[in-house]
Amino acid sequence: MMIKNMSIIIIMFFIGNMIFVSKHKHLLIILLSLEFIILSIFFLLLMMLSFVEYDMYMLMVFLVFSVCEGALGLSILVSMIRTHGNDYFQSFSLL
């Protein structure tokens, strides 16, 4: 049972990475793929910590950091849409 769950989590992680690499034109898709990767890592940590019967305190710390990362990404997305009108990376230059 654990091998089946582990293979599903690894597949989730690689699917999130493939989406992150292939759909790099839109910021919203990148943020969603990063959240999907974080969700797969959370499931991996949950399964590993429950397997070794360790304290679940680290999961709470991980969730706090992932929520902060999501809020920061959404604020960058909103400011980018307000200034440039879309979330394409090609629409703005660094100059």
Give 20-47 pLDDT, tens digit per residue. 899 778 888 888 999 999 999 999 998 8
Task: Report d(CA 30, CA 37) in Å as an integer.
Answer: 11
CB 31 within 8 Å of CB 20: no
**Geometric angle at alpha carbon 69, from 77 and 41, rounded to 5°:** 125
Q: What average pLDDT does the structure give for the chain?
A: 86
Task: Report d(CA 54, CA 67) in Å as an integer.
Answer: 23
Confidence (pLDDT) at 94: 55
Encoding tokens for residue 39? 């969700």
Q: How far, in Å, are 49, 65, 83, 84 from residue 34 at the CA level?
A: 22, 13, 23, 23
Query: SS3 of 24, please?
Result: coil
pLDDT at 73 over 60: yes
pLDDT at 60 over 80: yes
**Arithmetic mean of pLDDT, 62-69:** 92
Domain parsing of the chain, residue ranges: 2-84
pTM exceeds cut of 0.85: no
Is the pLDDT higher at 37 or at 92?
Answer: 37
Task: From the options 1.10.3470, 1.10.287, 1.10.357, 3.30.1490, give the CATH code of 2-84.
Answer: 1.10.287
